Amino acid sequence: MAPELSVAAPTVPAMAGTLSGRVALVAGATRGAGRGIATALGEAGATVYVTGRSGGGQRSEMDRPETIEETAELVDRAGGRGIPVRVDHLVPDEVRALVERIEREQGALHVLVNDIFGANRIEWDATVWESDLDHGLHMLRLAVETHAITSHFAIPLLIKTPGGLVVEVGDGTTEYNDRTYRVSFFYDLAKVAVNRMGFALGHELAGHDATAVALTPGWLRSEAMLEAFGVTEENWRDAIEGRPGFEVSETPLYVGRAVAALAADPDVARWNGRSLSSGQLAEVYGFTDVDGSAPDVWRYITEVREGGKEAEADDYR
């Protein structure tokens, strides 16, 4: 039996129809933030190509049950059109064929989201000399090389239409990552590189009437996270004890609504090259998570956990 699809949405999405007629590619949309982003773009009425390695009866090295076909179904349910395409974004020929298909079928690409990662494990607190070298280098390929390959082939199509948007999805804002060691040598390097790609692409796209940003969710209640904590989306608060800050966690749809808000903003160029967070953009655009809250974990971390401010975590949602 197929697993129950897990991304919920309110009955009347605030952005319904705002992206009608727009075409998006969410690269790495099998689960987590990518699935939430694809679904939120569907809420706004977009046609969304959802890609990943878990589809067509095959699983990626993560060996989880989620599939791109399920993500496409969520896009359809939300009000858009989801098109699943199994792609390994480390294989240039597969990415080239994907972009050629989008151009053939749609004639344009308006939004590119690079959310590809898919590492099956993370070595915590591992120095460069203690790390499994093969695994660390493979992580960099998954996190960085895939984004570069996809941008190389997709951006020429995107800039044919004025107003295009490229979103590099990572973990942590540039401000936070610049002062914080992130997990291990290879993970740190991967996440800093993703933010830098948003900056570099912003520089390169500025003369082509297109915008690029780096975007991070907060503490994401992904399928894998919920499973690891032994809870579901319905009872996630049962996992708060012993996990400071988890009260400020968010569903994958929340960062998705950040992307949809950016894509619908006629003045999106004001963010070009910037590093942004879902909570920061919720304050600007007014979207909420599925429960009507607006969590901002990065502000919580800065002000409470690092800044010593006396406040309740729930004050930041």
Residue 5 lies in a domain: no
Residue with tokens 């690409």: 109
CA–CA distance, 26 with 281 (Å, rounded to integer) = 19
In this structure, what CATH number is given to the domain that contains residue 305? 3.40.50.720
Residue 117 lies in a domain: yes
Residue 3 lies in a domain: no
User: DSSP per residue over 31-78, as a string?
Assistant: SHHHHHHHHHHHHTT-EEEEEESSBTTB--TT--S--HHHHHHHHHHH
> What pLDDT was estimated at residue 64?
86
Residue 102 lies in a domain: yes
What is the domain range of residue 298?
23-316
- Total domains in the fold of the chain: 1
**pLDDT of 4-40, one tens digit each?**
444 444 434 578 889 999 999 999 999 999 999 999 9
CA–CA distance, 130 with 24 (Å, rounded to integer) = 40
Residue 17 lies in a domain: no
**pLDDT of 98-136, one tens digit each?**
999 999 999 999 999 999 997 767 888 889 999 999 999
Q: DSSP character for 81? A: E
Residue 272 lies in a domain: yes
Strand ranges (E), the chain: 23-27, 47-52, 81-86, 111-114, 164-169, 210-216, 275-277
> What pLDDT was estimated at residue 11?
37
Residue 9 lies in a domain: no
Low-confidence ranges of the chain (pLDDT < 70): 1-13, 120
Residue 13 lies in a domain: no
> What pLDDT was estimated at residue 13?
56
Return all residues near 153 (Cβ < 8 A) that are at least 6 apart. 92, 95, 96, 98, 99
Exposed e or buried b per residue across 245-278, where buried means at least 16 C-beta atoms within 10 angstroms of its C-beta? bbbbbbbbbbbbbbbbbbbbbeebbebbbbbbbb
pTM of the model: 0.93
